[in-house]
Structure 1
């Protein structure tokens, strides 16, 4: 069955094939690499220190920002998409570099994006140490932004010790974050979703999880940033079965679904209100939940099974889905 996401130009299966080819090609360069392609961030050993690196952009959400002429949130999005992934290997974010490409000089656009990047850097306790602004008429139509983030790993946490009975905790998202926007824009272009009515919710910046996750890092076995591909990303941490019951999501997800996306596909593309997932021992749950309280909504979603198997999700509609 052809999904709405593939109709909008994004075939997740083909993306996975491309990622596999890339991983195979670049692995021939590894000499000091501790953790290569295929996880949330790469990790390299530099004079006995484990340094984590990640690079990412904001995707086609930039087109909606351009439509609304609101760019500050996009800068914060770019930081979030990088530092949140650093957390998923146990890294503490330290530094950020930005890259902004435009079809023509636009001082106001650059300033607003950088204001958002600075805001995100401060929230993630990181420093913006430089960047690049490129004018590339005929290559870029409008603008694009990307960031590279660097962090230091004291203890590598990639889910290797996740085991049966471990508890799965979800941290609330601020909304759609920065994935699935090709599908969102298709619904807008078709007149099924009103951008004017839902503009604020669609442009809400991606939540930065640095402070809450670092506050419990010593109590967790792994963390999964829920981005493109939704909860399938948890397979980067373990192949054990999982059972999760999701909370009622923010209204914007229900609006997108009612605009013409199946319930199943919503849970294959979007974070559905859960932007970060943590794994911890049952004995640590109460302490972890207490520490997380000041940082916004969090929930005990379920548990990890004893054997390899699917991810079983009970949705807000009490529907059971398998990933």
Structure 2
């Protein structure tokens, strides 16, 4: 069956094949790399210092910002998509550079985006050290924005020491964050999802998890930023089977599902109210939750199984299996 996301123009399986090919090609350059493509961030080692680097944008969420003429949240999104991936391997964000491509100079748009980037950088305790603005009328229609973030690693967490019986802790999302917007825009354009009812909700910025995750870094074994591909990205952390039970999702996800996206596909595309998952020994869970909850609502969502196998997700409606 062709998924709604694929009908919208995004084939996740094809993207995975492309990612594998790219990872194979770039691996021939590795000289200082200790963690290459395939995890949340790359890591190199120079003079006994481990530096992490990541690059990302906010996808077609920019088109919603353009439609609603609100741009600062997009800047926060851009920072969040990078720093949340840095902390997923244990890196403390240090510096950010931005890249804005725009069809014609617009001081208002650029200023708002930068204001958002600055706001996000302050939340992540990182410096914005520069960037580039390119006017490319023949290449872009509107604008696009991306960031590159660098961090330093004291404790690298890749999930290598995750074991059966370890507990999964979910950190609440701030809504849809920055993934699945090609599908969402299709629903909006078809009139199945209302701009008036959901436009502001859909522009809410991605939650930045730097402070809570760095505060418990010494107590966790792995961290997974739930973005494109949703919970399947937890495979970057462990091949053990995972039993996950998720709470009823926030209203925006129910509205998207009612607009025509199958229940199972919702959990393959969106974060469903959980933007980050931490892996920890059960003896540390109580302390982790005590530290996390003043920052962000956090709760136990599952456990690592005894075998190498599938991700099983129990929702408020049914049980789903992922390879």
Which TM bucket (shorter chain)?
over 0.9
Partner of 1:159: 159
- Secondary structure of 2:223's counterpart equals strand
Q: Distance in 1 between matches of 2:155 and 2:109?
A: 39
Partner of 2:104: 104
- The answer to whether structure 1 residue 208 and structure 2 residue 208 are counterparts is yes
Cα displacement (A) at 1:316: 2.0
Partner of 1:94: 94
Cα displacement (A) at 1:132: 0.3
Partner of 1:176: 176
Partner of 2:147: 147
Q: Distance in 2 between matches of 1:264 and 1:106?
A: 41
- Secondary structure of 1:207's counterpart equals coil
- Could you state the TM-score of these two structures normalised by the residue count of structure 1? 0.99
Q: Distance in 2 between matches of 1:156 and 1:287?
A: 21
- Secondary structure of 2:197's counterpart equals helix
Equivalent pair of 2:212/2:296 in contact (CA under 8 Å) = no
Q: Distance in 2 between matches of 1:296 and 1:124?
A: 14
Partner of 1:293: 293
The correspondence of residues 181-196 of structure 1 with structure 2, limited to 5 A, is 181-196=181-196
What's the RMSD between the two structures over aligned residues? Answer: 0.5
Partner of 2:28: 28
- Could you state the TM-score of these two structures normalised by the residue count of structure 2? 0.99
Where do 5+ consecutive residues of structure 1 fail to align?
none
- Secondary structure of 1:295's counterpart equals coil
- The answer to whether structure 1 residue 41 and structure 2 residue 65 are counterparts is no
Q: Distance in 1 between matches of 2:85 and 2:73?
A: 18
- The answer to whether structure 1 residue 7 and structure 2 residue 32 are counterparts is no
- Secondary structure of 1:9's counterpart equals coil
- Secondary structure of 2:221's counterpart equals strand
- The answer to whether structure 1 residue 313 and structure 2 residue 313 are counterparts is yes
- Secondary structure of 1:92's counterpart equals strand
How many residues are matched?
A: 322
Cα displacement (A) at 1:296: 2.0
Partner of 2:321: 322
Q: Distance in 1 between matches of 2:109 and 2:253?
A: 29
Cα displacement (A) at 1:258: 0.1
Q: Distance in 1 between matches of 2:37 and 2:302?
A: 29
Equivalent pair of 2:159/2:238 in contact (CA under 8 Å) = yes
Deviations, residues 258-306 of structure 1 (Å, cap 9, x unaligned): 0000000000000000000000001001000100110121110111011
Q: Distance in 2 between matches of 1:30 and 1:233?
A: 24
Partner of 1:266: 266
- Secondary structure of 1:307's counterpart equals strand
Cα displacement (A) at 1:221: 0.1
- Secondary structure of 1:288's counterpart equals helix
Where do 5+ consecutive residues of structure 2 fail to align?
none
| More divergent stretch after superposition (69-78 vs 239-248) | 239-248
Partner of 2:242: 242
Q: Distance in 1 between matches of 2:193 and 2:145?
A: 26
Q: Distance in 1 between matches of 2:159 and 2:200?
A: 35
- Secondary structure of 1:94's counterpart equals strand
